[in-house]
A = this chain, B = another copy of it.
């Protein structure tokens, strides 16, 4: 279980987006969201934060309801010797819990800063403080990391012996995410900041 939590925390640190599942009007809606994690957050076993516009319909459906936040990194395509054994290498965390709307101003500010730093570590400290208007326009949801399951596959094809004996090729196409050089906005001036350079180099 310790190993499981370590893998979970590593995946959550590496991944950039999550897929949030909410029941809206009786049926599931799954949306891509930015997220952040505070392992020392106020919820059991740590807090996963997502945020959105206060105008977003899914936020109203999520408040105080059970939601599912799934984070997946795809690591490879597994070309087996049969259609049946084709697979993918991946790491995926499924977090299920009651979504709490964060009301406390300090926790909201903290969660939004973590979200910026999750994208680009260190960047939040280089930016001006959010205005009251900006904070009022943003809703923050907290989900406990307590009920989290982790699944992964990270190996070559697992084939039937007769297919191997038949000489069919099997293997893996490894996949990863890479970043290009940062592209300054047309109206940007000055050098690319160190945090952005570091982030691009780390991806």
Contacts and interface: CB of A to CB of B under 8 A. Distances in A.
A156 B168 contact: no
Q: Is the interface of A mostly helix, strand, loop or mixed?
A: mixed
Interface string A165-196: 01111111111111111111111111111001
A19 B32 CA distance: 9
* Oligomer: number of copies: 2
A47 interface: no
Interface residues of A, number: 88
Interface of A: 16-17, 19-23, 26-32, 34, 65-70, 72, 74, 77, 79, 81-84, 86, 88, 90, 92, 94, 96, 112-113, 115-116, 119-120, 123-124, 126-128, 130-131, 134, 137-138, 156-157, 159, 163-164, 166-193, 196, 199-200, 203
